[in-house]
């Protein structure tokens, strides 16, 4: 059963009065039932991905969407304008999918052919360095126009000085509802 907002808010306020250490209690907006203003829209929300046109030396447009590999993980990458997100799943046939390392990333492409963002390890309590997340910048390597790569100079974490290689487009699947 779901506690109603009114009851819940009262309970929370009661908890604050009772002296619990609670950062949220120090604000004037402790009630979760209040509406959230539109102005809280995130800075990199879907509407704010800007168009970007990066091209190889041969003039081919760069679209990072697809499957990439790095540090023994398959990366499912989605680019939308200058926004790039991915999910990386460690390739380990001995582990169930839900027990594998999963790293998520979001970043932004720049006209200087860099991709800057942050990653977070979702599934594993600690990586090699003990870190769960960090900022990261990749350079888009175009030496071989047929094999665009992403190079990281990160000092730690799963992307520590790694090169990501494009494997191919996302696989086509069976359309939902289709035969």
Partner 1 sequence: MADSADDCEPIEYVTPAGERVDLTGTWRGSFGVHYIRQDGSCVWWVGLEENESEELGARIMVVFRGELGADFTITGEWMSVNRSSFISDRRHGSVTFRIDFGSAGDTETIMLRSTLADAPQGGLGPYAGGVTLVYEGPLPQVPLY
Distance CA 103, CA 159 (A): 10
Q: Given the complex with partner 1, which of 108 and 139 has the nearer CB atom?
A: 108
User: Would you count residue 102 as binding partner 1 (CB under 8 A)?
Assistant: yes
Which helix (H) or strand (E) covers residue 87, if one does? strand 83-90
Write down the residue that tokens 């360095």 correspond to.
129
User: Would you count residue 155 as binding partner 1 (CB under 8 A)?
Assistant: no
User: Using the rule CB under 8 A, which residue among 126, 144, 146, 179 binds partner 1?
Assistant: 126
Q: Kindly state the smallest distance separating residue 117's Cβ from partner 1, in Å.
A: 8
Distance CA 35, CA 172 (A): 40
CB 152 within 8 A of CB 136: yes
Nearest alpha carbon to residue 104 among 132, 129, 140:
132
Q: How many residues bind partner 1 (CB under 8 A)?
A: 76
Residue ranges in 133-152 that form contacts with partner 1 under rule CB under 8 A: 133-135
Residue ranges in 3-62 that form contacts with partner 1 under rule CB under 8 A: 3, 8, 11-12, 14-15, 18, 20-24, 26-27, 29-36, 38, 40-47, 49
For 60, list phi and psi in degrees, rounded to 5.
Answer: -80, 135
User: Would you count residue 106 as binding partner 1 (CB under 8 A)?
Assistant: yes
Distance CA 150, CA 45 (A): 24
Q: Given the complex with partner 1, which of 15 and 62 has the nearer CB atom?
A: 15
User: Using the rule CB under 8 A, which residue among 78, 110, 141, 160 binds partner 1?
Assistant: 78
């Amino acid at each position: 059963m779901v506690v109603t907002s009114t009851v819940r808010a009262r309970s929370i306020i009661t908890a604050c009065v009772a002296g619990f250490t609670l950062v949220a209690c120090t604000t004037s907006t402790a009630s979760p039932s209040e509406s959230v203003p539109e102005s809280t829209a995130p800075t990199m929300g879907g509407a704010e991905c800007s168009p970007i046109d990066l091209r190889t030396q041969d003039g081919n447009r760069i679209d990072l969407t697809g499957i990439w590999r790095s540090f023994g993980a398959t990366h499912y990458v989605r680019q939308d304008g200058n926004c790039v997100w991915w999910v990386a799943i460690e390739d380990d046939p001995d582990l169930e999918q839900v027990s594998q390392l999963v790293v998520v990333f979001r970043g932004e492409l720049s006209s200087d052919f860099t991709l800057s963002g942050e990653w977070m390890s979702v599934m594993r309590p600690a990586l090699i360095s003990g870190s769960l997340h960090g900022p990261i910048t990749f350079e888009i390597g175009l030496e071989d126009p047929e094999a665009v790569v992403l190079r990281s100079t990160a000092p730690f974490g799963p992307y520590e000085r790694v090169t990501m290689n494009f494997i191919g487009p996302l696989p086509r699947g069976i359309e939902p509802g289709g035969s």
